[in-house]
Amino acid sequence: MKPDNKNIKICVVGLGYVGLPLATALAKHYPVIAYDINKNKIEELKRGLDSNGETKKNLIINENIDYTFDPKKISSASFIIITVPTPVDEFKRPDLTPIIKACQTIGKNLSSGSIVILESTVYPGVTEEVCVPILEKTSGLKYKKDFNVGYSPERINPGDKIHTIDRVVKIVSGDTPKTLAVIARVYGSITKIFKAKSIKAAEAAKVIENTQRDLNIALMNELKIIFDKMDLDIIDVLEAAKTKWNFLPFYPGLVGGHCIGVDPYYLAEKAKSIGIHPQLILAGRRINDSMASYHAGKIIKLMISKNINIKKAKVLILGATFKPDVKDLRNSKVKDLADELRKYGCDVEFFEPMVDKKEIWGYENIKKNKIKSKVCDLVIKAVNHKKIGKIQFDYEI
């Protein structure tokens, strides 16, 4: 296969926070089939609407992009990219169901000579040990004879207008040198690339990126607990410490979302399967997962000190998404905070300006114009949205 624009047609499978920006970027150079199983999402995208609010209308509407929920159109693509979620189940175990289903759909519509690239965050081995057998079984094609695979981990950061897809280094890998050359050419047309030595190395690189961040934030959270006990403001401590040239400026907080709060479990599960119990990785997860409960306890003590009746106390939480200035509620630890406060008998409401819903997780989401007239016993600033601005609050996370 000669890697030029004329004979490469791309299909992006999954049009969420990762897939849509990737499809619009690639469409500047190649014809793109943008596939998603969500029919309503496809109809919105055809009108130029991104429900996540991340991609502009002028980029979505492009004659080079064919938005579709028809899987048969995948068969016309020679370069297929999987950008589906990789969550964990209720027991914190990797749930590869979205990837498995995507591979089944692709396999049923896979044409000979195609390359399939996985972008979803996984543990080392998933591309070749999970995806390839499914693609072979459902397509009837032979791996490395009729089709090839690669891995190029996504580095989309929702809400980040600086580290956009065209401004970050993209790791690429392939099962053969020829496959890698084509993958490098395609991704190289939209951003800088780094060629990993193997598919497993690329998979491992991605999963440790977020594991490293998770552990650093866990350290800050543990330090916060220690300094709180000493009546020390950790922000004051960190402002002083970061004047040293090699100090890493991480901060404490609630760690949620679909990456940092999830990816370490993928690496941990793989480690267990080869007989290693990852102590540090799981210790960091335990600390970060416990912080909502820790903050709830502090909030209850604060209300008691102010002689507020905990039962039916009206608590307003500002922000519900997993990070500032995004609409994504997935795996947000603010929900855990609200649930903990409700256990004590508090009447909890949200003000979440990024989410156009009357209710969030069964809690009322009040409108902005109601805040000034709202009578609350306590106001908590949980997420630092720009739209929240300088609203007064009693407790900040």
Indicate if 80 and 189 belong to the same structural domain.
Answer: yes
Residue 162 predicted with pLDDT over 90: no
Residue 94 predicted with pLDDT over 70: yes
At residue 28, the pLDDT reads 94
At residue 161, the pLDDT reads 80
Indicate if 106 and 186 belong to the same structural domain.
Answer: yes
Indicate if 261 and 308 belong to the same structural domain.
Answer: no
| Distance of alpha carbon 311 from alpha carbon 305, whole angstroms | 15
Taking residues 160-167, report their average pLDDT. Answer: 85
| Distance of alpha carbon 261 from alpha carbon 279, whole angstroms | 16
Residue 349 within any structural domain of the chain? yes
Indicate if 166 and 41 belong to the same structural domain.
Answer: yes
Indicate if 321 and 229 belong to the same structural domain.
Answer: no
CA 174 vs CA 14, 103, 160, 210, 392: distances in Å: 21, 17, 28, 22, 52
Indicate if 188 and 212 belong to the same structural domain.
Answer: no
| Distance of alpha carbon 33 from alpha carbon 115, whole angstroms | 15
At residue 354, the pLDDT reads 92
Residue 143 predicted with pLDDT over 80: yes
Indicate if 23 and 101 belong to the same structural domain.
Answer: yes
Which domain CATH number covers 282?
Answer: 1.10.1040.10
Say what percent of the chain tops pLDDT 70.
98
Report which of residues 280 and 1 the model is more confident about: 280
Residue 4 within any structural domain of the chain? no
Integer-rounded Cα radius of gyration of the chain: 23
| Distance of alpha carbon 284 from alpha carbon 218, whole angstroms | 5
| Distance of alpha carbon 16 from alpha carbon 357, whole angstroms | 19
Residue 387 within any structural domain of the chain? yes
Say what percent of the chain tops pLDDT 90.
85
Indicate if 316 and 389 belong to the same structural domain.
Answer: yes
* Among 205, 227, 251, residue at a domain's last position: 205
Residue 17 within any structural domain of the chain? yes
Indicate if 113 and 135 belong to the same structural domain.
Answer: yes
How many angstroms separate the first and last alpha carbons of the chain? 53
259 in active site = yes
Q: What tens digit of pLDDT does each residue of 346-361 get?
A: 999 999 999 999 999 9
At residue 298, the pLDDT reads 96
Where is 199: in which H helix or E strand?
helix 199-229
Token pair 């997962």 in the structure block, residue? 289
Q: Please give the tally of structural domains in the chain.
A: 3
Q: What tens digit of pLDDT does each residue of 172-212 get?
A: 999 999 999 999 999 999 999 999 999 999 999 999 999 99
| Distance of alpha carbon 353 from alpha carbon 127, whole angstroms | 39
Q: Which letter does DSSP use for residue 110 in this model?
A: P
At residue 254, the pLDDT reads 96
* Among 181, 205, 229, residue at a domain's last position: 205
Which domain CATH number covers 329?
Answer: 3.40.50.720
Residue 134 within any structural domain of the chain? yes
* Among 205, 228, 249, residue at a domain's last position: 205
| Distance of alpha carbon 395 from alpha carbon 144, whole angstroms | 58
Closest residue by Cα to residue 285 from 338, 228, 333: 333
Indicate if 187 and 87 belong to the same structural domain.
Answer: yes
Return all residues near 35 (Cβ < 8 A) that are at least 6 apart: 11, 12, 13, 14, 15, 68, 69, 70, 71, 73, 74
Taking residues 58-85, report their average pLDDT. Answer: 96
Residue 148 predicted with pLDDT over 50: yes
Residue 3 within any structural domain of the chain? no
Residue 294 within any structural domain of the chain? no
Residue 140's pLDDT band (cuts 50, 70, 90): very high
Report which of residues 299 and 4 the model is more confident about: 299
Burial label, 161 (beta-carbon count in 10 A; 0-12, 13-18, 19+): exposed
- Name the token pair of 225: 């607990």
Residue 64 CB neighbours (<10 A): 14
Q: What tens digit of pLDDT does each residue of 249-278 get?
A: 999 999 988 889 999 999 999 999 999 999
> Active-site residue among 11, 103, 259, 346?
259
Residue 276 within any structural domain of the chain? yes
Report which of residues 307 and 163 the model is more confident about: 307
Indicate if 248 and 363 belong to the same structural domain.
Answer: no
Range of the domain at 200: 10-205
At residue 1, the pLDDT reads 40
Indicate if 211 and 197 belong to the same structural domain.
Answer: no
Which residue type does 341 have?
Answer: L
Secondary structure of residue 82 in the 3-state scheme: strand
At residue 164, the pLDDT reads 87
At residue 392, the pLDDT reads 76
- Does pTM top 0.85 for this prediction? yes
